[in-house]
Structure 1
Amino acid sequence: MSHDPIDHDFERGLNNRRSILGDAWVERSLSNANSFNADFQNLITRFAWQEIWGRPGLEQKTRRAIVLSITIALGRWEEFDLHVRAALLGDPANRLTPDELKEVLIQSAIYAGVPAANTAFTHAMIILREIGPQIGYALEPMAPAATHHPGVGREGRSSGRPALHYSVRAPRNGKAPRHTVVLSHALGCDLSMWDALANTLAEDCRVIAYDHRGHGSSEAPPGMYDMASLCDDAAALLRELDTGPVVWIGLSMGGMVGQELALRHPALVRALVLANTTSGYPDAARAMWQQRIATVQAQGVETIGDAVMGRYFTEHFRTGHAATVARFRRRVVSTDAVGYAGCCHAVGNVDTTARLGAIAAPTLVIAGELDQGTPVAMSEALANGIPGARLEVLKDASHLSYIEQPQAFGQAVRSFIATL
């Protein structure tokens, strides 16, 4: 039997060690090995760098984050500094950005303690000041009160009347936005319904979400509303935020506003995604909307909560995702009754069918296969009426298709935006 002189575990570990820490550090470590610590260097190379770092079950970036977290928790600052430098300067395929490093340190404050995270930030900033020019990063002055949660965005209220509550997420990649995307919610919802998609699109886009009048934290003026007013609300907000032409993504009522915006303010619309919406209802449906208004005015929004959930979600989804349905029900029934009734009037009287041919923006129409509120036929009418529009039907989805089928919805949106 032949004996292979190569210790493959050691060689694999050494290769992994180089890819994570860099050749210079590893060579320095090996050159400092001696009769006292060589066994230890051999052990950590085989067991830490091969047995652990050699496992493909986690991405190397994830393992970097784990090591940083543990060294913070244990207060092993020499090792922490080593891995911070390696994480920021390592192979582009597995290095951490300064913002990703910041997220690791912030999370460590909760799980390892604020004092440990405070020390970690001090060490990391020393390193960032030193190597910042190498990685194109500068520490700029910033007031703590000026920060905002990146998963929510910078929140504000428009200066006009009605004042609209909105959030703005800047591109996380730090570059100029590929597009400005506006997310417009359904009746009885608010801007938070879009959180997951907003955070995905904010990788390289500026993303704005807002509460329609009468919803969420926006003002609810008295009286019945019309779609032109909801459209003009949106146009005023976009001009105040100096958006330029936007990619408008609207579901149900939000899609109706998008149609009107493209017709009344075409310079503000770069492209449209119209989901689970319509350009007009038949007389029977209009009568239903009038009945809903009367019920809300007489008995409050709570009275219609269960019926709305029955139209928003399939029975299968309601059974399997009861907590999600309960969350949306709470949102619907807590909507200001004046605002809800006013928007019902705008939705029930939507009427853009005869004008669809004037929409010049590239358009994607998304329908829910099982949508009873705006059946597929209504989406087909939109796609046929808007020049060049494309229709995509999501299987097993009802009216809030984005909530029931978030992956399919998100993929359709991302693929469409990629063509712009």
Structure 2
Amino acid sequence: MSFDPVDHDLERGLDNRRRVLGDAWVERSLTGANDFNAEFQQLISRFAWHEIWSRPGLDHKTRRIIVLSITIAMGRWEEFDLHVRAALTGEASSRLTPDEIKEVLMQAAIYAGVPGANTAFSHAMAILREVGPQIGYEPQAYSPLDVFHSGTGQEDRTVSKPALHYTIRRARNGKAKNTVVLSHALGCDLAMWDRLASELAADHDVIAYDHRGHGSSDAPAGLYSMAELADDAARLLRELDSGPVVWIGLSMGAMVGQELALRHPEQLISLVIANSTSGYPQEARDNWRQRIATVQDQGIEAIADAVMQRYFHDTFRREHAGDVAAYRRRLLTTDTEGYIGCCNAVGTVDTTDRLKDLSLPVLVIAGRLDQGAPLQMSEIMSSQIAGAQLVVLEDASHIAVVEQPEAFADAVKQFLNKHD
């Protein structure tokens, strides 16, 4: 029986250690070892760097994050400094950006305590100043008074009236491909888009806004028209000096997008029409007038359950009762006059015969189970628009971006990648 003099577990551990911490650090540790600490160096190389870091269950980037979190919680600042420096300058595949390290420290403030996170920020900032030129990072002066939540965006209202409430998420890569505008459904608000907005903000500036009569936007008296809602949108884009945008609308938001593309074509690069229609048959128009009358007489509560049944299919309502309840609360807290005004705009939408005039890239998304805007309505729109692409989402009803968020996002991102 032969004996292999190579300790493979030790060699694997040293390989991981070099990849994560860098050759220079490991060589200093090894050449600086002596008869007092050499066994310890071997122990951590075999058991920490092989037994743990060689396991394929988590990638090295995730393990970096875990180490930073634990060293903050335990106040092991020498080890924390070592791993921050390595995370910023180490192997490219597991490197962390300054923003990613910031997120680790922010979360540590909640789970490990503000004092620990405060110390961690001081240590990390010192290292960033040291390695900043190497990684192309230079801290910029920024006031805490100007900070906003990166997951929901910078919040404001238009100066022009009726005032529209909106948020802007800037592209996290700092180089926005385009500006995307997200336009919500009747009885909802801009929060409907939170998940998709955060995904798209990886590569795009993203604007979400509340239509008049919804959320934190003004609710002028009277019945609205789709032309007024489209003019609102154009006014918002001009005030923000956004330039031409990608418009993504769902239900009412997609009706606004159609009208905007027809009335203000210079404002759009491309258009996504989701779970919507370009016009209703007479029976449906009568139903919209009846809905207005019911809300005027009895309030929104009288129609809330029926709306939820049309927004979400039976299985989703049963398995995601909390989500449905949240959308029901949002509906009930919508300004009554604003809701009625928008019901009129939706019920009288009429763009079918004009869609042939559109000459921009268009994606139409439909839900197979949609009762509010049946598949046939999407087929009519896609047939009217030259070159329009139709995507049908299975197991999706009217608010498809909520029921099938991954499939909805995939369809949108494929469209954007094709037309960016």
TM-score tier by shorter-chain length is: over 0.9
Shift of 1:149: 0.6
Separation (CA, whole Å) in 2 of partners of 1:3 and 1:155:
68
Separation (CA, whole Å) in 1 of partners of 2:361 and 2:140:
39
CA deviation profile, 1:227-279 (whole Å, cap 9, x unmatched): 00000001010111111111100000000000001000101100000000000
Separation (CA, whole Å) in 2 of partners of 1:17 and 1:353:
64
SS in 1 for 2:94: coil
The answer to whether structure 1 residue 340 and structure 2 residue 339 are counterparts is yes
Q: Give the match for residue 308 of structure 2.
A: 309
CA deviation profile, 1:11-47 (whole Å, cap 9, x unmatched): 0000000000000000011011111100000000011
Shift of 1:323: 0.7
Q: Give the match for residue 71 of structure 2.
A: 71
Q: Give the match for residue 230 of structure 1.
A: 229
Q: Give the match for residue 416 of structure 1.
A: 415
Shift of 1:315: 0.6
Q: Give the match for residue 238 of structure 2.
A: 239
The answer to whether structure 1 residue 17 and structure 2 residue 17 are counterparts is yes
Mapping 1:373-388, distance limit 5 Å? 373-388=372-387
Mapping 1:154-193, distance limit 5 Å? 154-174=154-174, 176-193=175-192
Amino acid at match of 1:244: G
Mapping 1:349-368, distance limit 5 Å? 349-368=348-367
Separation (CA, whole Å) in 2 of partners of 1:217 and 1:388:
37
The answer to whether structure 1 residue 398 and structure 2 residue 397 are counterparts is yes
The answer to whether structure 1 residue 89 and structure 2 residue 89 are counterparts is yes
Shift of 1:3: 1.2
Relative to structure 2, which stretch is displaced further, 211-220 or 294-303? 294-303
Structure 2: runs of 5 or more not aligned: none
Q: Give the match for residue 297 of structure 1.
A: 296
Separation (CA, whole Å) in 2 of partners of 1:2 and 1:208:
68
Q: Give the match for residue 100 of structure 1.
A: 100
Separation (CA, whole Å) in 2 of partners of 1:84 and 1:38:
25
CA deviation profile, 1:65-124 (whole Å, cap 9, x unmatched): 111111111111111111000000011110000000000011111111111111111111
TM-score of the superposed pair, with normalisation by structure 2: 0.99
Amino acid at match of 2:388: A
Shift of 1:145: 1.1
SS in 2 for 1:340: helix
Q: Give the match for residue 323 of structure 1.
A: 322
Amino acid at match of 1:298: D
Between the two proteins, what is the percent identity of the paired residues? 67
Q: Give the match for residue 115 of structure 2.
A: 115
Amino acid at match of 1:71: T
Relative to structure 2, which stretch is displaced further, 51-60 or 15-24? 51-60
> Where has structure 1 moved over 6 Å in runs of 4 or more?
none
Amino acid at match of 1:120: A
CA deviation profile, 1:310-357 (whole Å, cap 9, x unmatched): 000111111111111111111111111000000000000000011001
SS in 2 for 1:409: helix
Shift of 1:303: 1.2
Q: Give the match for residue 30 of structure 1.
A: 30
Separation (CA, whole Å) in 1 of partners of 2:90 and 2:234:
46
SS in 1 for 2:363: strand
Mapping 1:262-301, distance limit 5 Å? 262-301=261-300
The answer to whether structure 1 residue 212 and structure 2 residue 211 are counterparts is yes
Structure 1: runs of 5 or more not aligned: none
Mapping 1:119-134, distance limit 5 Å? 119-134=119-134
Amino acid at match of 1:371: D
Separation (CA, whole Å) in 1 of partners of 2:225 and 2:270:
23
Separation (CA, whole Å) in 2 of partners of 1:357 and 1:324:
38
CA deviation profile, 1:352-380 (whole Å, cap 9, x unmatched): 01100111110000000011111100000
Separation (CA, whole Å) in 1 of partners of 2:304 and 2:68:
47
Amino acid at match of 1:297: Q
Shift of 1:395: 0.5
Separation (CA, whole Å) in 2 of partners of 1:231 and 1:305:
26
Separation (CA, whole Å) in 1 of partners of 2:91 and 2:171:
24
Amino acid at match of 2:233: A
Shift of 1:142: 0.5
The answer to whether structure 1 residue 45 and structure 2 residue 42 are counterparts is no
Amino acid at match of 1:302: E
Shift of 1:60: 1.0
Amino acid at match of 2:215: G
Mapping 1:247-262, distance limit 5 Å? 247-262=246-261
Amino acid at match of 1:300: G
Separation (CA, whole Å) in 2 of partners of 1:134 and 1:358:
53
Separation (CA, whole Å) in 1 of partners of 2:130 and 2:156:
36
The answer to whether structure 1 residue 152 and structure 2 residue 152 are counterparts is yes
Shift of 1:396: 1.1
Separation (CA, whole Å) in 2 of partners of 1:242 and 1:59:
42
